[in-house]
Amino acid sequence: MIENLNGISAEDGAQVPSDQIAAAVTAGNIVYEDGATQTFHSDGTTQYTEHGRETTGTWTVDEDGHFCSFWPPSYRASYDLRWIVEERRIVGLRFSDLRNGARFDGRYR
């Protein structure tokens, strides 16, 4: 179920404004192309599940307006976050790693 996105209008591929990142990531559970799932919570925690194995991390928005994640003990990443929109409806998010350009598309479940 997608929540918190009422009133947000977006175009496919448009950058998620920094003031909308929290609403975007907490709007619903995310399912990635490889079947992994991720849940973001408003308290800044996140759970990533792949092949039945769950990992807990944290997320923030940095001073430059990028989405950032931290996975203990030491993995940090920053992403450009863009909307995935189909038929004028927000259906997911595209995470592009600022360091290496790797892209992860996730759809709201």
Per-10-residue mean pLDDT, the chain, length 109: 74 95 95 97 97 97 96 95 94 96 95
Whole-number pLDDT of residue 4: 65
pLDDT at position 55: 96
Q: What is the pTM of this model?
A: 0.91
Distinct helix (H) and strand (E) counts, the chain? 1, 8
CA-CA distance, 23 to 25, in Å (whole number)? Answer: 6
The pLDDT value recorded for residue 91 is 95
